[in-house]
């Protein structure tokens, strides 16, 4: 079996019974179940949600996205073997820990397969909630260009690249294009301040101003839980992105939950502790290593960093096969950190799509 066969690259063509279009993002696809199937599963599986809650099957893929493009390797390898299973395993681990520690629930109701979540419908908060413990990435680039205010936060002088910050900073950005908010351009992923959110909390889908405090608390508490656990593995939690949403509890009250993914190599920077401490070297156990590879691999890195050159960037991703050595390196990074975090082996399936179809058909009766 070839490497390409082991990759789940296309995840929006599963024969799951649905009466709505399949929503396909950069990495995950979402299949909304019929009302009848949602109600049946809630009853049969005893999910702790109101009986009329819409449910979905969320299927992860092995696609690799960076700089807002999907990349592929030689030999028609359209993703990274093991990446999807590793991402889900890491998220599952942290979601479970958050629940055990009384932080908040997630949107996940059940995990039928390493690539699959059964989730309840959530109303997403339109904020990419980013927490930073070190100055690196886009924050460092802005600082090096002379900016001293970042998302409404005043930064001190004389910071150096990759330095630990005095406190954990929350630097939110927009999730999706939001129209009509004063001072916030209608673009995806625009940096915003806490004041922007407070002044327009309803436009960002917060139920109340008080929930802005709750989201910040859940973000900081979640960051600290992961940071302490990673420190036990001598890994450094540098920065991360969380997403939040609202769901109904069994008696119909709104509650704020974690959603999407948490603490994964896709949504976070994780550095190797010994390399940083003993050699002053950054060894990435996250997607950032792949981003750096791309910046070094192509002769004009500005194409990847400049939003005004998106057409060229998309052509770069479409027309260039990356070396298999680079794909294998990503597999090693993702599977390696997932196995460290969970303490369990990541199973690399020979045919993930066939496995998913069989389980959803035989156990959940969601495929005709």
Predicted confidence at residue 1, as pLDDT, reads 58
**What are the chain's domains?**
3-122+342-362 (3.30.200.20), 124-228+239-267 (3.30.470.20)
H or E segment and range at residue 359: helix 352-362
Cα dist from 78 to 4, 74, 315, 318, 325, whole Å: 7, 9, 16, 11, 14
Distance (Å, whole) CA 95 – CA 91: 6
Non-local (6+) Cβ contacts of 78 within 8 A are 4, 7, 9, 10, 62, 63, 72
pLDDT value at residue 89 = 97
- Are 324 and 74 spatial neighbours (Cβ–Cβ below 8 Å)? yes
d(CA 132, CA 7): 32
**What is the reported pLDDT for 150?**
93
The terminus-to-terminus CA distance of the chain in angstroms comes to 28
Give the tokens for residue 16.
């799951």
Predicted confidence (pLDDT) per residue in 274-331, tens digit: 999 999 999 999 999 999 999 999 999 999 999 899 999 999 999 999 999 999 999 9
Decide: 196 and 202 in contact? Cβ < 8 Å.
Answer: no
List, for the chain, all residue ranges whose pLDDT scores fall below the cut of 70.
1
18 burial type by CB count under 10 A (0-12 exposed, 13-18 middle, 19+ buried): middle
205: left (phi over 0), alpha (psi -120 to 50) or beta: left
Residue 235 CB-half CA count within 13 A: 22
Tens digits of per-residue pLDDT, 292-303?
Answer: 999 999 999 999
Angle at 17 between CA 11 and CA 21, to 5 degrees: 60
The per-residue pLDDT for 4 is: 74
Distance separating alpha carbons of residues 113 and 135, to the nearest angstrom: 37
| Strands (DSSP E) found in 45-170 | 55-60, 64-66, 69-73, 108-113, 116-120, 123-124, 127-134, 149-150, 153-154, 164-170
HSE at residue 49, side-chain half, CA atoms within 13 A, is 29
Which pLDDT score, from 0 to 100, does residue 307 have? 86
Residue 350's pLDDT is what?
86
- CA dist 118 and 111 (Å) reads 6
CB neighbourhood size of 340 (10 A)? 15
Provide the H-helix boundaries in 16-82: 35-45
Beta strands in the chain (DSSP E): 23-24, 28-32, 55-60, 64-66, 69-73, 108-113, 116-120, 123-124, 127-134, 149-150, 153-154, 164-170, 173-174, 235-248, 254-259, 268-272, 321-322
* Nearest by Cα to 247 from 216, 207, 307: 207
């Amino acid at each position: 079996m070839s490497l390409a066969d082991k990759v789940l690259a296309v995840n929006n063509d599963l024969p799951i019974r649905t009466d709505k279009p399949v929503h396909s993002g950069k990495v995950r696809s979402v299949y909304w179940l019929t009302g009848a199937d949602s109600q049946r599963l809630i009853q049969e599986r005893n999910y702790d949600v109101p009986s009329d809650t819409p449910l979905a099957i969320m299927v992860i893929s092995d696609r690799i996205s960076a700089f807002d493009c999907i990349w592929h390797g030689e030999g028609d390898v359209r993703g990274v073997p093991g990446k999807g299973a590793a991402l889900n395993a890491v998220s599952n681990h942290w979601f479970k820990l958050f629940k055990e520690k009384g932080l908040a629930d997630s949107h996940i109701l059940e995990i039928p397969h390493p690539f699959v979540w059964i989730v309840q419908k959530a109303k997403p908060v339109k904020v990419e909630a980013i927490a930073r413990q070190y100055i690196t990435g886009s924050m460092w680039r802005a600082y090096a260009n002379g900016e001293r205010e970042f998302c409404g936060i005043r930064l001190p002088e004389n910071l150096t690249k990759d330095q630990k910050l005095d406190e954990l900073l929350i630097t939110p950005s927009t999730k999706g294009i939001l129209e009509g908010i004063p001072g916030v351009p209608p673009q995806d992923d625009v940096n915003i301040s806490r004041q922007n959110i407070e002044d327009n909390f309803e436009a960002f889908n917060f139920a109340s101003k008080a929930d802005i405090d709750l989201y910040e608390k859940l973000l900081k508490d979640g960051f600290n839980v992961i940071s302490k656990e990673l420190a036990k593995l001598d890994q450094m939690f540098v920065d991360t992105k969380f997403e939040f949403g609202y769901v109904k509890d069994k008696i119909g009250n709104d509650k704020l939950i974690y959603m999407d993914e948490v603490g994964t190599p896709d949504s976070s920077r994780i550095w190797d502790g010994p390399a940083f401490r003993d050699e002053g070297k950054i060894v990435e156990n996250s997607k950032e290593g792949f981003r750096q590879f791309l910046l070094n691999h192509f002769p004009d890195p500005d194409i990847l960093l400049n939003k005004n050159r998106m057409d060229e960037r998309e052509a770069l991703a479409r027309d260039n096969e990356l070396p298999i050595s680079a794909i294998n390196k990503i597999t090693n990074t993702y599977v390696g950190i997932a196995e460290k975090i969970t303490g369990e082996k990541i199973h690399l399936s020979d045919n993930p799509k066939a496995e998913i179809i069989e389980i959803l058909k035989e156990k959940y009766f969601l495929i005709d």
